[in-house]
Structure 1
């Protein structure tokens, strides 16, 4: 039976709900898959033509890559069949991965970072680029091989980040996660064997350190709401912060992208930037004065509510990312002044709006409902997040012991 090759979209999605592109090699009803390393939304896949639809922002580049990989697989297949017609699908895959044996940590990480950038995952791209550079600077060479990244290497690397880079324990964990991601990728590519994997039971285990999430109380938020001695920029910053808080702590990157056309039928409808999930929430009554404040500056029904992205090139993800970062830094600077004027002794940032919603929600709202409001994929994530703000039971237990 002849061997068949085909570009396919695999059925198992990753944590972000995207599906991996792969080359399928079939022989004698047995199939083996070579993963390309790119993930796309199912809606961008043309099942009939086995190509990425034009609706994907990088469809041309991805289809060129897929054609190139398919040609590489077919070439290797023909060469092997010339030697032995009874070649298996797994043998073809093995031959193709042998070429990857000499790939270094740097070359694998370069491919990984290029994928993040080409898929416009810029927040993760910039963060992970710094983490990859930490590894290269620690090793003092770009010729680091995965076989050298053992338990001893990772222990020394953690000490380097802690003492030389002065990173927090959470930041150190984030660096280890990137190394783990790249190591798993290298294993799939055939660069390094599974037996060399330095993570897991009895080896390097990644544990997230407990972090304190501080949220404001109802009285503290009321003090912010009632402030009158604010500058124009501080008033604008307060509006953005309250807009986020009133809508269950919408992230600032999403807040700035909200358009007037996203508001209809008394609800707000938007797509989360972090995981592309669609969100629909009822507009709280408290949002009315904020919306009225900006309505006079509306240029058209599709205009942004807040001004920060009005002058951005919305089709240029780098420009949007840069302007969002600049705006966030500006907001956090003014929030510090707002906190001083409100007499708060807690640090006030844009992200504290999300923590404050969780703090006030406490255990008053069922966790299933909070999961919907936060748009968490897993209820476990919601429970872990909310555990930072639920202390009623422990407080009561403590009181029962000491109040004698």
Structure 2
């Protein structure tokens, strides 16, 4: 059991001939100190023991009140006191004595973390902010500490989510929706533990882990969003009235993504002009999570040239002028998907989304063109899973070029050599 004692360190004499009164906590044969606000001269120190005099000493009385509080707090820890080092106990006690709120506020940390990710340009930050807001909506206020989050509370939150209508308005929130919200809560929980806990020194500010008992729903098997070759050709040749500019752009952007090995709209929005016939970029979705910054280089195929010309940036700062047409990449993504719905209705392709271009390229590459799973993964700029091997092998971008060429020849043949289906004026 830790011991608590008032001490004065003889070698720490101040220039004004006073010493700071300290509280020493000894635990597992190691000691750490808490400095008080009190300083005393030699008249209040026992000359033989060099300890603070007890009788008729108001400083001793005041410090002893803190000692008693410390002993009470240590007693409350029970067996969990063994999780702490002497230094860790001192840090914990200093927080207790400072009258700060008991614990770390979940919502303060959660919103701060979400904003940090958003500032880094990562779209997932919005998901974190939405998840924290949804949890706040359930709690009813922002006075929630990490220590208040129990498995029982999360189970009630799970039930609450399932009682809510889904975003699309069809039925209630499903397993996928529950996972979307609760997985972000868990991620924030883990980030907070990394920040506030230090197992090496025994500083454990967040002790609980409600996710041991509460289990986040497993990832549901998603419906495949890949299209047939005929559907992709139909989108490319779809005739759209000239006054439907947004729909025209959505059609072209979809085909452009397919031609560029499933490039995302966000990457297309920020893409730099081609360099020596190649399009090179860092995939924004995963660049902060990978040592290679998710860099990829793909050849600019001839089929892309009409689109490069159609949407070129007049200042040549970027490959396309979408950043001029749309104020933010979020607006660009949203508008493209909205207008793709219209194209889906025209061509009888239910729930058509932009991401179907990426899924379709991958499915056709593997199933129709016989390209290996590893090569398909490389083309999609996924992490290979061969971390050690990757450090030995230089990336050969021609693998992607050959795969893309094979897919484009299979899907379009010579059909894209003509630009007749691309509207002249946008």
Alignment TM-score, normalising by the size of structure 1:
0.62
Give the direction of change, closer, same or farther, for the CA distance of 1:269–1:120 in structure 2 (3 Å limit). Answer: closer
Using the alignment, how far apart are the partners of 1:164 and 1:229 within structure 2? 39
Query: Which position in structure 2 is the counterpart of 1:337?
Result: 342
Give the 3-state SS of the residue equivalent to 2:279 in structure 1.
strand
Q: Distance in 1 between matches of 2:114 and 2:87?
A: 27
Q: Cα 1:371–1:93, aligned 2, differ >3 Å: closer, same or farther?
A: farther
Q: Which one of 306, 325, 340 corresponds to residue 289 of structure 1?
A: 306
User: 1:83 Cα deviation (Å)?
Assistant: 4.7
Q: What is the aligned length? A: 283
Runs of 4+ aligned structure 1 residues displaced above 6 Å come to 79-82
Question: Is the Cα contact below 8 Å between 1:368 and 1:379 reproduced in 2?
Answer: no
Deviation at 1:128, TM superposition (A): 1.0
Structure 2, unaligned runs of 5 or more: 1-19, 33-83, 96-100, 167-172, 197-203, 288-293, 387-426
The aligned residue for residue 267 of structure 1 is 278
Tell me the secondary structure at the aligned position of residue 211 of structure 2. Answer: coil
Structure 1: where are the runs of 5+ without partners? Answer: 1-78, 313-319, 381-404
Separation in 2, partners of 1:264, 1:282: 10
Partner of 2:133: 133
Per the alignment, residue 400 of structure 2 pairs with none
Q: State the Cα RMSD in Å.
A: 3.0
Q: How far apart, CA to CA, are the structure 2 residues paired with 1:354 and 1:81?
A: 65
Distance 1:359 1:94, change over 3 A: farther
The answer to whether the aligner puts 1:349 opposite 2:364 as a matched pair is no
Pair 1:102-2:97 in alignment: no
Match of 1:299 in 2: 314
Q: Which residue is 1:327 aligned to?
A: 332
Partner of 1:214: 225
Of 175, 178, 190, the match for 1:172: 178
After TM superposition, the score normalised by the length of structure 2 is 0.59
- State which structure, 1 or 2, has the greater radius of gyration over its C-alpha atoms: 2
Q: Distance in 1 between matches of 2:362 and 2:281?
A: 21
Superposition deviation, residue 250 in structure 1: 1.0
Residue 163 (structure 2) aligns with: 163
Q: Distance between the aligned counterparts of 1:205 and 1:235, measured in 2? A: 41
Alignment map for 1:14-163 (pairs within 5 Å): 83=24, 87=31, 91-96=86-91, 99=95, 102-121=103-122, 123-163=123-163
Distance 1:80 1:347 in 2: 72
Match of 2:210 in 1: 198
Contact 1:106 1:142 in 2 (8 A): yes
